[in-house]
Amino acid sequence: MPAKASSKTLISIVGPTAVGKTALAIKVAQHLHTQIISADSRQFFKEMEIGTAKPSPEELAAAPHHFISSHHITELFSTGDFEVQAMALLTNLFEAHDQVVLVGGSGLYVNALLNGLDDLPATDLSIRAALNDEFQAEGLNGIKARLAALDPEYYAQVDQFNTQRVIRGLEFVLSTGKKLSSFQSNSKKPRPFNIIKIGLNKDRQQLYNQINQRVDQMMDAGLLEEVKRLLPHRELNALKTVGYAELFDYLDGTCGLVEAVNKIKQNTRRFAKRQLTWFRKDEEIKWFAPEQTTEILDYIDQYRSDNL
């Protein structure tokens, strides 16, 4: 954690999908009269509205948000890009605010801003080519199985529908003999601000029920129509993700609509479980239930008081 000399603090709010991070982030931002940086790797993209559960117009109006609909799906936007752009944004925000809120469930992007990313060793491009050939011929399951065996930490948090990221993880370990996760988790660049880490979690069955309800709400809001509009772009990495991949399968005729929706629910629940596995590794996170707003605000205020 940075030295106490800094008067600036970044408040990081993490947890599984659908747990209530957005609502809490807005309450914290309003309490502190500050702004919010999103670290959700899917909400960056303008064209992906319904399936990414972006904050509503009312929520966006309740507190200023950044990195929501900030990029097009045709743009490559890596964790390294996010680190550079978010650090530049933070510098500007800290000129007017002593505290800024970071919220999101994408562990790699949260880590990039809190800890920084290492300069990675070069990988063997012939291995990447071979893995891409394997994917085209046999699909992703074999690659995923090898990645799970060789780098289970990276496998636990990667978006398993994102072919490029899955292949990247296996390519790295096969090329270097080292886990990509070891670079991402051990990197600790000094930051010129304090960091408060807050995690949200709740009873697993309650969380799973909320996930199922959210998927139903997405379908009612027009997710299928959104996916149909994006069908010409389905090969883009941004769209190889839960909520879109399953409905592309439905549109291909490989499954029925009810089956596709059930798969979205199942895959989202699995994703939530992987998110928790990732964040629980960080012993600096203080965990709360989503409804403990008063306790969370007291915790933040006490931390700020102790570090002035």
d(CA 33, CA 273) in angstroms, rounded, equals: 33
Split at pLDDT 50, 70, 90, the class of 186 is: low
Residues 6+ positions from 205 with CB-CB distance below 8 Å: none
| Percent of all residues in the chain with a pLDDT value above 70, rounded to a whole number | 97
More confident residue, 305 or 172: 172
Confidence at 291, pLDDT banded by 50, 70, 90? very high
Q: Where are the domains of the chain?
A: 9-117+187-306, 125-183
Q: Which of 55-59, 157-161, 242-246, 247-251 has the lowest mean pLDDT?
A: 157-161
* For residues 247-264, average pLDDT: 98
Q: Is the pLDDT of residue 265 over 90?
A: yes
Fold of 125-183: Histone, subunit A (1.10.20)
Q: Give, as one character, the DSSP assignment of residue 54.
A: P
Whether pLDDT at 6 is above 80? no
Q: Residue 22 annotated as binding?
A: yes
User: Which of 158, 162, 170, 131 has the alpha carbon at shortest distance from 278?
Assistant: 158
Say if residue 189 carries a ligand binding annotation.
no
The answer to whether 16 is annotated as binding is: yes
Angstrom distance (rounded) from CA 255 to CA 273: 25
- Average confidence (pLDDT) over 267-290: 94
Q: What is the pLDDT of residue 180?
A: 85
> Which residue spans within 15-157 are E strands per DSSP?
36-38, 65-66, 99-103
pLDDT of residue 3: 41
Rg of the chain (C-alpha set): 19
Selected residue with higher pLDDT from 255 and 121: 255
CA distances to 119, 157, 170, 251 from 38, rounded to whole Å, are 24, 18, 28, 31
CB distance 186 to 117 below 8 Å: no
Q: Known binder of ligand: residue 4?
A: no
Task: Name the band, by pLDDT with cuts 50, 70 and 90, for residue 184.
Answer: low
Q: Output the CA torsion 28→33→38→44 (10° steps).
A: 140
Burial class for 153, CB neighbours closer than 10 Å (0-12, 13-18, 19+): middle
CATH superfamily of 9-117+187-306: P-loop containing nucleotide triphosphate hydrolases (3.40.50.300)
In total, the chain counts a number of residues equal to 308
* 224-233 residue pLDDT tens: 999 999 999 9
* 277 annotated as a binding-site residue: no
CA 257 to chain centre: 27
The b-or-e profile of 212-238 (16+ CB within 10 A means b, else e) is bebbeebbeeebbebbeebeeeeebeb
Model confidence pLDDT, tens digit, residues 26-41: 999 999 999 999 999 9
Tens digit of each residue's pLDDT (9 = 90 or more) over 106-152: 998 999 999 998 777 888 889 988 998 898 899 889 999 999 999 98
Task: State both tokens at 139.
Answer: 């699909």
Is 17 labelled as part of a ligand binding site?
A: yes
Confidence at residue 2, expressed as pLDDT on a 0 to 100 scale: 41
User: Is 107 flagged in the annotation as binding?
Assistant: no
Between the alpha carbon of residue 203 and those of residues 2, 168, 274, 292, the distances in Å are 33, 34, 16, 14
Sequence letter at residue 304: R
| pLDDT at res. 187 | 56
pLDDT digits (tens, 9 = 90+) for 91-111: 999 999 999 999 999 998 999
